[in-house]
Amino acid sequence: MKKRQKRKKKIKSREEKKREKKKKKKKKKKKKKKKKKKKKKKKKKKKKKKKKKKKKKKKKKKKKKKKKMDRRTKEED
């Protein structure tokens, strides 16, 4: 009986050690995730600026097209 009890104790202690190791690993992973979130915020700001520039370019192109159309009608007459 005594031998069996000793074996059980050893197994229990092993399991406890494994659990502690897992807990430590989990804590480390959480810290890494927080750093990644900060980087994403910076990227979003850059995208907003690009959109504004595109809108201005489109307006200029429209004006040029109108002038070309007028010239064509004058030549035909």
Q: Copy the structure tokens of residue 18.
A: 């494994």
Distance CA 35, CA 29 (A): 11
Does residue 27 sit in helix, strand or coil? helix
This prediction's pTM: 0.24
Supply the pLDDT for residue 8. 83
- What is the per-residue pLDDT across 15-66, written as a single tens digit (0 to 9) for each? 888 888 888 776 666 666 666 666 666 666 666 666 666 666 666 666 666 6
Structure-model confidence comparison of residues 28 and 2, the more confident one: 2
Supply the pLDDT for residue 20. 86
